[in-house]
């Protein structure tokens, strides 16, 4: 692409008269203004002949660096200026980034090791006024302080800190585009996280990019929490299985082992270190305690069932439990009031009545079934309510504090 100078066109028209038409004149002018390889080489030789990339490219040693996006770094190099007309109209050139001065910016909170931005294969764009545009592509692997208290419904804010290591704010200052510090043009949705907000702050030679994101809980909920919750309800159904079937103990132990396996799987999903104990861990510990208690109660019930009424008759404590169970069954079962009153009026008869241990175990089954079912539903509801509502409250408090 060649620029056409109107002065050349006028001169050609005067000298040649009507011999050349406008089209030919344009061609001749273009040939005069063409940029040859020798001119490009001469320009590069002139720019780099006495150029020292270790010297900051400012005459008065006071300049700023603008950083926006992923990264787009722009600065002015007073040593890389030229007159385009002296070099065939060359207005912009591209040079390897290692051939000129550039800020030794690097990721400060790197996870493994600190490396320079960009690579030797990248080039910088330089115009005739000394404006340098450097767009290094980098894979940032930075540390992030996570708070997994509400996992997997947690919101995290990670920081990417870029700093010019060798200079203080007296020599190098980074400015950011406050209107749009982080461009989302090339952003692609992540399978595990949802981007909520981005911001940036500049402090002297350091700029901090803040990325706020929310975890997508579908994977953990569907693949771990739902099966674990179903196993908890299956554990409660232990008391529905007839105690005389002979399979109750093995059934309860199998459920307990299944819960233990899911806890092992979940431990690999949680971050390895955190200052906060996730509520999910407490919730799972309670479910594990429930299944353990169900196994213990089941074994004790089987022990009671083996007793002989003639040697070990049912004592008063178990008779009270039996009478309470029968009263609850009558009221909740919608039976006749007269039958309920009969049981209440004849409470002394119940206390003196000879009961079998099977009847006592069946009464315990009724009480423990509703007790553990209530515990499971209450704990599960509390967990989901806390994780979904308190997380929002925490975000609001954080926004108020930032304001």
For residue range 143-152, what is the model confidence (pLDDT) as tens digits? 777 788 888 8
| Distance of alpha carbon 287 from alpha carbon 68, whole angstroms | 49
Domain-terminating residue out of 163, 181, 216? 216
Taking residues 184-201, report their average pLDDT: 84
* 397 and 289 in a common domain: yes
Taking residues 337-365, report their average pLDDT: 63
Rg, Å, the chain Cα set: 39
Is the backbone peptide bond immediately before 140 cis, with ω within 30 degrees of 0?
A: no
pLDDT (tens digit per residue) in 106-153: 888 777 777 777 777 888 999 999 999 988 877 777 777 778 888 888
Identify the residue whose tokens are 């767009």.
Answer: 135
190 is written with which tokens?
């992540």
pLDDT (tens digit per residue) in 312-325: 777 778 778 778 87
* 185 and 81 in a common domain: yes
Under the banding of pLDDT at 50, 70 and 90, the label for residue 35 is low
Under the banding of pLDDT at 50, 70 and 90, the label for residue 350 is low
Is the backbone peptide bond immediately before 152 cis, with ω within 30 degrees of 0?
A: yes
In a domain, 181, yes or no: yes
CB 33 within 8 A of CB 4: yes
pLDDT over threshold 80, residue 208: yes
Q: Which residues contact 262 (CB under 8 A, 6 or more apart)?
A: 224, 227, 228, 231
Under the banding of pLDDT at 50, 70 and 90, the label for residue 228 is confident
**Residue 149: predicted pLDDT:** 84
- The C-alpha angle with vertex 87 and arms to 30 and 53, in degrees rounded to 5, equals 145
Percent of the chain with pLDDT over 70: 74
In the chain, how many domains are there?
2
* 385 and 237 in a common domain: yes
In a domain, 175, yes or no: yes
Domain-terminating residue out of 151, 182, 216? 216
- Residues spanned by the domain of 103: 52-216
Domain-terminating residue out of 216, 238, 255? 216
Positive or negative torsion for Cα 18, 20, 21, 22: negative
Helices and strands (H and E) in the chain: how many: 12, 10
Please give the span between the terminal C-alpha atoms of the chain, in angstroms, as a whole number. Answer: 52
- The C-alpha angle with vertex 368 and arms to 366 and 374, in degrees rounded to 5, equals 105
β-strands 63-68, 172-176 pairing: parallel
* 150 and 96 in a common domain: yes
The answer to whether the pTM exceeds 0.85 is: no
| Distance of alpha carbon 347 from alpha carbon 352, whole angstroms | 9
Helix, strand, coil percent values for the chain (each to nearest 5): 50, 15, 35
In a domain, 113, yes or no: yes
More confident position, 398 or 403: 398
CB 229 within 8 A of CB 267: no
């Amino acid at each position: 692409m060649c620029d056409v100078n109107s002065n050349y066109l006028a001169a050609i028209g005067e000298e040649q008269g009507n011999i050349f038409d406008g089209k030919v004149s344009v061609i001749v002018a273009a040939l005069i203004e063409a940029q040859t390889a020798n001119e490009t080489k001469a320009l590069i030789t002139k720019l780099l002949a006495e150029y020292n990339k270790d010297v900051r490219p400012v005459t008065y040693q006071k300049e700023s660096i603008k950083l926006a996006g992923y990264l787009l770094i722009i600065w002015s190099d007073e040593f890389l200026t030229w007159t385009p007309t002296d070099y065939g109209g060359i207005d912009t050139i591209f040079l390897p980034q290692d051939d000129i001065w550039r800020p030794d910016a690097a990721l400060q909170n790197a996870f493994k090791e600190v490396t320079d931005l960009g690579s030797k294969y990248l080039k910088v764009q330089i115009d005739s006024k000394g404006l340098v545009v450097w767009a290094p592509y980098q894979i940032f692997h930075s540390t992030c302080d996570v708070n997994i208290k509400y996992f997997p419904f947690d919101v995290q804010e990670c920081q990417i800190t870029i700093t010019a290591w060798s200079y203080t704010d007296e020599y190098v200052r980074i400015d950011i585009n406050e209107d749009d510090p982080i461009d989302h043009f090339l952003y692609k949705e992540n399978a595990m996280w949802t981007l909520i907000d981005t911001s940036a702050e500049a402090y002297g030679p350091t700029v901090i990019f803040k990325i706020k994101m929310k975890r997508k809980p579908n994977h953990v909920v569907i693949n771990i929490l739902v099966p674990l919750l179903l196993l908890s309800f299956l554990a409660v159904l232990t008391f529905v299985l007839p105690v005389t079937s002979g399979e109750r103990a093995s059934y309860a132990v199998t459920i307990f082992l299944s819960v233990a396996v899911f806890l092992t799987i979940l431990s690999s999903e949680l971050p390895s270190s955190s200052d906060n104990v996730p509520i999910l861990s407490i919730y799972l510990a309670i479910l594990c305690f429930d299944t353990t208690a169900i196994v213990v109660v089941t074994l004790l019930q089987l022990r009671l069932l083996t007793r002989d009424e003639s040697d070990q008759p049912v004592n008063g404590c178990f008779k009270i439990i039996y009478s309470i169970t029968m009263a609850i069954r009558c009221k909740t079962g919608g039976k006749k009031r007269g039958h309920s009153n009969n049981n209440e009026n004849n409470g002394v008869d119940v206390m003196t009545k000879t009961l079998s241990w099977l009847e006592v175990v069946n009464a315990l089954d009724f009480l423990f079934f509703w007790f553990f079912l209530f515990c499971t539903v209450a704990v599960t509801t509390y967990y989901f309510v806390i994780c979904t509502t308190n997380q929002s409250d925490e975000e609001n408090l954080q926004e108020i504090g930032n304001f």
